[in-house]
Amino acid sequence: MRDIANKIGVSSVTVSKALNDKDGVSEELKDKIKQLAADMGYRFNSVARSMKDGLSYNIGVVIPERFAGANQFYLHFYEHLSKVLDNHKYYGILQILNVYDEEQLVLPRIYHEKKVDGFIILGQISKPYMELLQQADVPFLFLDFYTDDVDIDAIISDNFYGMYEMTNYLIKQGHDKIAFVGNIYSTSSIQDRFLGYYKSILEHHLQLQEDYVIPDRDRRGTFVDLQLPKDMPTAFVCNCDRVAYILSNKLKEHGYRIPEDCSVVGFDNDIYSTIADPQLTTVEVNVEEMSQAAVKSIIEKVKNPKHTIGRLMVKGRIIHRQSVSAVKQPHSL
């Protein structure tokens, strides 16, 4: 292509400079060159640029299989990431990490073929896979989860305080029998949300009954049947909207009215919170801001592999809907 542009009698160097608006070419020449390029339908070849500076300008977004599919939340997240990447002249390549590859510790082909300059890992992966990544020769960061290893950069929503504030809110509404729904050993997010809930419980000197922590899934993430406590709580704090939705249906089946008989709250503000009847009060995850932060950080790390951001928390906020009501006889303090 560039040769053809030479047909106005300049070298390819000059054309390159003109098209990239670099110094060392007169304005008139630049305009003339740009004009001709447009007329000729010239398209820049980003591959050649990549060849030169060793950067693909692609970022791999890795979503473990179990979080994709039914759970559209991460796909929605990916959509945001892809837009933000675009704004930074980068592109996202989605990589669903299947169970087999995760267990067998095989890195995706986009790694082996140097298709990407870095990875955003969206959704908790196994410990051994984390170690595999660390040995690999590519920058990466965790999005929406983290690990106890402080050296790994992670961007997470503020699960702890989000749930802490949500539980505080319920207690202010007079609730004192509050259950938590979620397997507290399955992901760091769920665990932190539980701990935020627990902090609120402790601060208010409430009792944490054993059967008030209700597992929602097994270790592999498969949902299990929810066991309602014998002594019914007045409020359920669910680790995510989807489970809150499932719980709502179950409660209604058992003849409980929401929010009159018990309140239900979720987390994420995803589709399930608006689909539930009544709609769920929940904590909104700031996907937009998290995406911005993730993209900025990974690009920074591509430029400077030593760059580190540590653990970045992004605040959410409570969205009030119809699934919470004050307790009839407020608890006396």
Q: Which residues bind a second copy (CB under 8 A)?
A: 41, 43-48, 50-51, 56, 58, 68-70, 72, 75-76, 78-79, 82-83, 86, 89, 91-96, 109-115, 137, 271, 275, 277
Binder among 40, 51, 105, 202 for DNA (CB under 7 A) = 51
- Please, is 333 exposed, middle or buried when counting C-beta atoms within 10 Å of its C-beta (0-12, 13-18, 19+)? exposed
Cα–Cα dist 280/202, whole Å: 25
**Least CB distance from residue 108 to DNA, whole Å?**
18
Q: What are phi and psi of 317, to 5 degrees?
A: -150, 155
In what helix (H) or strand (E) does residue 178 lie, and over which residues does it extend?
Answer: strand 178-181
Instruction: Yes or no: say if 209 and 178 are a contact pair by the CB < 8 Å rule.
Output: no
255 makes contact, choosing from DNA, a second copy, none, with CB < 5 to 8 Å by partner type, with: none
16 makes contact, choosing from a second copy, DNA, none, with CB < 5 to 8 Å by partner type, with: DNA
310 makes contact, choosing from a second copy, DNA, none, with CB < 5 to 8 Å by partner type, with: none
Of 159, 169, 305, 177, give the one whose Cα is nearest residue 240.
Answer: 159
Binder among 21, 35, 36, 54 for DNA (CB under 7 A) = 54
Of 193, 174, 59, 36, give the one whose Cα is nearest residue 120.
Answer: 59
Helices (H), the chain: 2-5, 12-19, 27-39, 46-53, 73-87, 99-103, 109-112, 127-135, 159-172, 188-203, 241-253, 271-275, 287-303
Is 110 a binder of DNA (CB under 7 A)?
A: no
Is 41 a binder of DNA (CB under 7 A)?
A: no
271 makes contact, choosing from a second copy, DNA, none, with CB < 5 to 8 Å by partner type, with: a second copy
Is 35 a binder of DNA (CB under 7 A)?
A: no
92 makes contact, choosing from DNA, a second copy, none, with CB < 5 to 8 Å by partner type, with: a second copy
By CB under 7 A, how many residues form the interface with DNA? Answer: 29
| Placement of tokens 């809150």 in the chain | 244
25 makes contact, choosing from DNA, a second copy, none, with CB < 5 to 8 Å by partner type, with: DNA
Cα–Cα dist 181/27, whole Å: 65
Which residue ranges make up the site for DNA (CB under 7 A)? 1-2, 9-14, 16-17, 19-20, 23-27, 29, 42-45, 47-49, 51-54
